[in-house]
Amino acid sequence: MSLFDWQQSLLQCPFDGSDVIVADRAAQCVRCERTFPVQDGIVRFVVPDLEHLQDPDEWRWKQSEMEARNEQASFYDRLIGLMILTPLEGPMTVKALFPDTQCVPLLAEIGCGTGRMLVRLASRAQKVIGVDISFESLRKCRERLQAAGKRDYLLVHADASFLPLKSASVDAVASCQMIEHLPSDRMRRKAVQEMTRLLKVGGRFALSGYHWSWLVRWFGPKEGVHKGGIYYYRFTRDEFLSLIPSEIKTEKLTSIAGYAWLVSGVKVRGQSG
């Protein structure tokens, strides 16, 4: 299965930002000549070299999450917490990202997992990109997009802190409860900067992540590890707002049932440097 021109034109090497040429079985960077496997139409940018861009703890936690998510991919959507939360979170996220009835040409979701939100967000975009660190989740996501009749999608296996996508290429970017699983403040900030980099000026932005509310204090600590080895961090209001780079003008911050923060905004200027 080969990629379409529009899909290939969005991709770049996560190491040096150069173009990649996509063939049937692999993509290759035109500068560093690293190759990235292509499997089931998904380009796999999570390669061992990424380890060298992170510290050993960061990489270890990400590996641990990747394994847990791959194992969970077949039953993730039936987890009881998500079955309760998604009917509330879905419409809130769509509304935060698109306050009016607009539909955009291209939307990206970073940390799309099995697609529980992407399939909803896709109703407001002609084309969608889904990025996740779990390949098995992406395969589930593809089935779900196909079942929903969505044909123009690009799924990318990548690390949120090193996105293999071109700058200023998308009209809307969302990330739903992914950011709390990145294992350091440095990686969390880098991921939000990467999401911002993808956006065109004027593009829409929405980010949600665990809320350190009075409610959830009953259930667990501020920072910890879920079953299966998935790291998490719960944010205070100030911590969550501090993740947003100055290029994004924040419009609204709400809490989804005391469980997650949801912030939305618009990119008002390009990034310097």
**Interacting residues with Zn ion (CB under 5 A):** 13, 15-16, 18, 29, 31-32
Nearer to Zn ion, 15 or 61 (CB): 15
Nearer to Zn ion, 18 or 246 (CB): 18
Nearer to Zn ion, 32 or 84 (CB): 32
Angle, alpha carbons 182-196-138 (nearest 5°)? 55
Collapsing DSSP to helix, strand or coil, 66 comes out as helix
The answer to whether the CB of 104 falls within 8 A of the CB of 124 is yes
The answer to whether the CB of 173 falls within 8 A of the CB of 107 is yes
Query: How crowded is residue 259: how many other Cβ atoms within 10 Å of its Cβ?
Result: 20
Least distance (Å) from Zn ion to the CB of residue 145? 28
Report the candidate in 235, 229, 161, 241 with the shortest Cα–Cα distance to residue 193: 161
Alpha helices in the chain (DSSP H): 5-8, 56-72, 80-97, 118-121, 135-147, 185-198, 237-242
Least distance (Å) from Zn ion to the CB of residue 241? 34
Task: Read off φ and ψ for residue 260, nearest 5 degrees.
Answer: -145, 145
Least distance (Å) from Zn ion to the CB of residue 12? 8
Residue partners of 192: CB distance under 8 A and separation at least 6: 179, 207, 243, 244, 245
Nearer to Zn ion, 15 or 205 (CB): 15
Collapsing DSSP to helix, strand or coil, 186 comes out as helix
Least distance (Å) from Zn ion to the CB of residue 36? 9
The answer to whether the CB of 60 falls within 8 A of the CB of 126 is no
Nearer to Zn ion, 32 or 88 (CB): 32
Least distance (Å) from Zn ion to the CB of residue 164? 9
Least distance (Å) from Zn ion to the CB of residue 267? 26
Report the candidate in 59, 48, 76 with the shortest Cα–Cα distance to residue 231: 59
Nearer to Zn ion, 34 or 120 (CB): 34
Least distance (Å) from Zn ion to the CB of residue 184? 24
Nearer to Zn ion, 15 or 235 (CB): 15
Query: How crowded is residue 113: how many other Cβ atoms within 10 Å of its Cβ?
Result: 25
Nearer to Zn ion, 25 or 31 (CB): 31
Least distance (Å) from Zn ion to the CB of residue 33? 7
> For residue 82, what are its two tokens?
């998500």
